[in-house]
Structures are given as C-alpha cells and as structure tokens.
Structure 1
Amino acid sequence: MLSPEQLKARTARAVSAATGAAHDLGLSVSEPRVLYDVFSVIVHLAPAPVIARVPTVVPPSYTARPEIQTGQQRSELAVAGWLADRGHPVVPPSPLVRREPVRRDGFSMTFWQFVDEVPGEPDTEYRIGQTARLHAALREYDGDLGFWAPFGTYIPDGLAELEHLPDLLPAADLERAQREWSVIAPVLTSQRVFEQTFPGVDIQPIHGDVPYYNMISTPDGDLWSDFELVTRGAIESDLAAVGPEGLAAYDAAATALGLRPVDDRVLRLTVAAGRLAMVAVLAMVPELPMLAEGLAPVLDEWRASLEITGI
C-alpha cells in the first residue's frame, strides 16, 4: 500500500510533469492548482485557461505497453473534439494546444479547456435525457474506436493482478470472477460474437463510463465530460446503474429522438460486466488505498448476486 506521503509525492510529480509539459507547449503557468485527485490528477494550469488530466493509477497493460494508453487518449480527444466542433454541450479539448496526448516524466496527459463549475445537486432526470442525446450525437461519429476496449483491458488486467494479491480478494471470489469473465469475455471482446448473440441490437460509439454522472454544471448548462473510456459498444453499457426510473426516463428520451429503447438482455450483460469491472478495480487498491472502503459494498452486492453461468 502506498503511504499518504507516497501519494502526496506522486501527486506532486504529476503536477510538475503537467506544468513542465505546459511550459513546453508555450502556456504560461505560475499557479497550478489541483482540482481532483483519484485515478487522475486534474490540474488547473492557472493563469492559463487550461486543465491537464494526468492519469496516475492505470491498468498494468498501460504501463507495459504505453501505446495502448496513448491510443485511448487520442480517441478521448478526438471524440470530445468532434462533439465540440459540432456545437454539442461538452468540455472541449483546449484550443491552445494540439489535440494530442503528451508524455512526460512517466505520465501521459491530455489538455482541456477550463470551465467554471456551478455547485448544487444535479438534475438526474435531465442528465439521463442528455445521455440519450449524447448517444444520438455519437451515432454520427465515424472515427476508429475499439470494441468495448475498457472491458477488454481493465477486467483481465485486474483479475490477473489479483492472483498476486490474496489479501485483497479471497481465492474463492477470484475463481468466481474468472469463471464469470470466461463466460462474458467472448461477447464483450468480439463484435462478431456480440452480433450473433444479440441479433438486431446495434452497437455504436458510447461514452464508456457513466455519462449522466460525468457531467459538469456550468453557468452555460451541463456539459458532457470525461471521455477516457470512450469506445464502441451497446448503449446499455452507459446505463448499467441508473435503476428502473432512470431506464424509463432514458427510453422516453431515446424514443423521442428515434433511438431504440434499452434491451433487457444486453442490460443484464452490461450490469454483470460492470460488477466484474469493480472486482477487477480492487487490484488498484495498493496504488489507491481509498478504494478499499468504497468498493466494499459493491463487492458485497456482487457476492450476493447469482453467478453468471451463461448469456
């Protein structure tokens, strides 16, 4: 487990790397300010109106093969930039630098336009409707994206790492997780197998995480953000945690936009995959100890659920 001192040192290194990279790009930075620090260090490079997102806790494959992380960051910048160029409500890449990830001092980072946040409780129903609008917009995106890339990276990476961390996940739990992944992996890592399993269920570019949660309230309204896990997949993957009322709100908004409603079978698959992803994230606890407490109820929910034995 990293100690509090080691975590602070890692944050300081990330801020230093972001500041140095910004200077190299011609930005004036004298007062860098950390806004958020969990999986990534989010730095306002003040006085420049620029945010640096510096991932610090990443899956092992990103470390072993940096080109995987770079490719995903390029997709993130490309999709967010494409949305911004067409006037959609999104936090855009910074217009002051190239839309390209920058690697420095062992970190790979991206640069975004600074926006003012407005405090307050988010309107979840409105954001669910915005998720349908995001899906409608993304259907037009024709750039190259992997098929459910995050699932195919984070889950196998995490489960492999957990084999060496028996104190974090008992052997019986790990064996169950590995069995479940062997069942769902063929469908989530092959577009051909998915389409054979769910004929008539289309796939498209999706946010890849929790788009209705990853929105920023600003004086100009709510903006989509955090496209770090953008990929191609089924829209159900973006809705795995909304609950019945949220699903009804999404279906109403989707139908009004001419989109298909949620498919119950695909939703069950993506809910199962989401839970398994949370199990896999447990492997990051040594680098981010705060995760242990937050993941505990999710793991309890997974253990209490029926094991996935078929699609």
Structure 2
Amino acid sequence: MNLLAEEAAGILAEVCESVGLDSRGAELLRVRSNAVFRLRGDGGDIVVRIATAPDALTRLPVVLAVARWLADLGFPAVRPADEIGGQPLVHDGRVITFWHYVPASGRPTTTQLGRILRSLHRLPVPPFPLKRLADPLAEVRQAVENRTEVLTPCQRAWLRDRVAELSARWTALATAGPPVLLHGDAWIDNLLRCQDGHAVLCDWDGVAVGPREWDLVHTYHGQRRFGLTEADVDDFAGAYGSDLRAWPGYPTLMEIRDMYAVGIHIRNATRDPFSRKELPRRLDSLTRGDGQARWYLAEPA
C-alpha cells in the first residue's frame, strides 16, 4: 500500500476545496519528493504538487520566486498558477504549490536538455537570496540519522562514513568557472517536450547557486544507472558545449551523485512500496562497489 499517495490524495481533496478547485478525477502523476497530481474537469490545466521534504516551507517560496523570474525572461520553464493566491499553501503539515499543466507529446532528447542548460547557466544569478549548493549530501545525511527504522546498524554506519568521505571530497573539488544558477535536478525526466516540439524544464525544487557541474552530472549518471546510452550523453555534451568526462573531478562527482540518489528512498521507504524495493538494490550495489548496476525510477516492466 502506498501510504504517501493515499495521504496526499486526502490532502489534495481538502486543499482544492479550500481554494475552489475540483479534485474529483485527479490523476496522480508521480510520488517521490513530491506527490504530483493533474486536476481534471474545470481544473484540468492545473498541476498540484504536495511536498514531502522536511524543508519545503523554507524552500518553496524561493522556488516560486525563481519560476516567476524565469517567466519574465521568457525562459522555457513551467509557470506557477498565480491565479491561485497565497502560494505556497500549508495544509496538515504539507506544503502545496499550483502550476500550469504542460501538455507533453513524445519524449524529449538529451540534445534539448543540453541546450536548455547551456541557456540557463548563461543567465545572471537572480536578484534575490538563493541557497548555495555547499553540501549536496546534507539531506542524505539527515535521512540516515532520522530514518533508523529502514536501515540496519551496519548500513547506517557504512552510510555515515561514506557520506563523510564524499562530503570532504566535494569540498576539495576544483570546479570550472564562477557559480551559476542551477536547476538542481536536471535529469531528462524533468524536461517536458511540448506538442510543438520545444521543451520546458519542470521541478525546480532543487534550484540553487553553485557549480555548473552539478546540473551536468545527472545525464552522465543516467547512463551509469538508468538506461541512457553513450550516444545520449554524447548528444548532451555536444549541445551543452563541453564534456564533463574530460574534467578531473568527474569520478568523484559521479560517486556523490550515486549517494545523492539514495536519500529519497531512505526518506520514503516506510510509506512507499517502490522505495522499499529500490533502497536495498541501491545500497547493495554501493556497498559492493558496483558502479554499473541498473537502478530504477519506477517498477521495471
């Protein structure tokens, strides 16, 4: 039973009623860091995101501010549904935001992702305070300490040591160029291909200022763990204009990205059946030092 989805559906109904939207027939699009619903009927052009992360209330006002700033620049990103006032809303301890639905058609390409990230990283840093990406493993460290029920003592000890080691190596990385505006989770699944063929970036929850390499590594990590091909990565590098594989810090950053990808499943394992299955798969490959084991974003077919 997916308790995360059930809890989110109850919250969706209550919060939609409070703002005059009809949640009947809402479609669940995703449950990971957020439970994401598309409203049907009169609210069919609205996406509702119900955050599960503990820092959502401090983070999401900034996410909305960045999205509005990008909209003013004409950047291809999803738009907040600002006709619903008072965002973000807080209901029953969860933080809720509303976004305009983007009808997708077909799968975007890594070439499109590379071009959009090149454009993003050329933008100035927004003129308001933004989080600095000083510690990408902070949430993993917190999950290891707080979710004791899903980890054995040996797993917790190994994770603590490994996170400490990788955090020290992150601090020592020599990145190229000044900090830039980061999407924060620039994976191909966060790119939507519109019906006219152009693409827009969604899911800006990780937005920050930091080294451009953090946005780039997600695609390379996609080849390592999630089924992207070498041609996909080559197309991405060509579109962006540089290849992360030529950077001396590449092996360390890939190991950090591996560890980063475990945190969400530690947080969700008690309430999400998929996370309960995926967490042991990822931990087993990490503790064995298997850098090529296939991981999954949903139940394999």
TM interval, shorter chain, is 0.7 to 0.9
Judge conservation of contact 1:15–1:32 (CA < 8 Å) in 2. Answer: no
Give the distance between the partners of 2:193 and 2:80, measured in 1 at CA: 17
Partner residue of 1:33? 26
CA distance in 1, matches of 2:144, 2:23: 42
Q: Is the 8 A contact 1:278 1:299 kept in 2?
A: no
State how far apart, in whole Å, the 1-side matches of 2:82 and 2:216 are: 31
Counterpart in the other structure of 2:227: none
Report the 3-state secondary structure (helix = DSSP H, G, I; strand = E; otherwise coil) of the residue aligned with 1:229.
coil
In the alignment, does 2:5 pair up with 1:13? no
2:128 aligned counterpart, secondary structure: coil
Closer/same/farther in 2, CA of residues 150 and 182 from structure 1, 3 Å limit: closer
Distance in 1 between the 2:290 and 2:193 partners?
38
How far residue 89 of structure 1 moved from its aligned partner, in angstroms, is 1.2
Residue 50 of structure 2: aligned partner: 54
Aligned residues: percent identity? 18
Q: Tell whether the 8 Å contact from 1:211 to 1:225 is kept in structure 2 after alignment.
A: no
Q: Distance in 2 between matches of 1:126 and 1:185?
A: 31
Runs of 4 or more, structure 1, over 6 Å off, are none
In structure 2, the residue matched to 1:293 is 277
Match of 2:117 in 1: 131
Change (3 A) 1:294 1:36: same
The equivalent of 2:202 in structure 1 is 225
Structure 1 position 247, deviation (Å):
4.9
Gaps of 5+ in 1: 63-67, 189-193
- Give the alignment's TM-score, normalised by structure 1: 0.76
> In structure 1, what is the equivalent of residue 146 of structure 2?
161
What are the superposed Cα offsets for residues 143-168 of structure 1, whole Å, 9 maximum, x if unpaired? 32112278354112111024x23xx4
User: Size of the alignment, in residue pairs?
Assistant: 276
Residues of 1 paired with 2:18 and 2:27: CA distance? 16
Contact 2:67–2:79 (CA under 8 A) maintained in structure 1: yes
Instruction: Give the Cα separation in 2 of the matches to 1:199 and 1:234.
Output: 6
CA distance in 1, matches of 2:139, 2:251: 19
Aligned AA for 2:289?
S
Residue of structure 2 in register with 1:101 after alignment: 88
Alignment partner, residue 171 of structure 1: 153
- Letter matched to residue 34 of structure 1: E
Q: Which amino acid aligns with 1:156?
A: R
Distance 1:187 1:148, change over 3 A: farther
Verify the 8 A CA contact 1:210 1:238 in the aligned structure 2.
yes
**Residue type of the partner of 2:201?**
W
2:126 paired residue among 131, 137, 141: 141
Question: Any residues of structure 2 matched to 1:177-192 within 5 Å, and which?
Answer: 177-186=159-168
Quickly say closer, same or farther: Cα 1:204–1:173, change in 2 above 3 A: same
1:282 is matched with which residue? 265
Counterpart of 1:74? 61
Q: TM-score, normalised by structure 2?
A: 0.78
Q: Given the superposition, is the C-alpha separation of residues 275 and 199 from structure 1 closer, same or farther in structure 2, using an over 3 Å criterion?
A: closer
Classify the secondary structure of the residue corresponding to 2:97: strand
Cα distance, 1:147–1:200 mapped onto 2, change above 3 Å: same
CA contact (8 A) 1:34 1:41 kept: no
SS at match of 1:72: helix
State how far apart, in whole Å, the 1-side matches of 2:14 and 2:234 are. 45
Aligned to 1:205: 181
Q: CA deviation at 1:94?
A: 1.1
Letter in 2 for 1:227: W
Contact preservation (8 Å) 1:14, 1:41: no
Partner of 1:111: 98
Structure-1 separation of matches of 2:264 and 2:35: 18
CA distance in 1, matches of 2:9, 2:129: 35
Uncovered stretches (5+) of structure 2, i.e. residues with no partner: 221-229, 292-301
Greater CA drift, 274-283 or 213-222? 274-283
Cα distance in 2 for partners of 1:161, 1:201 equals 36
Structure 1 CA distance for aligned equivalents of residues 135 and 90 of structure 2: 21
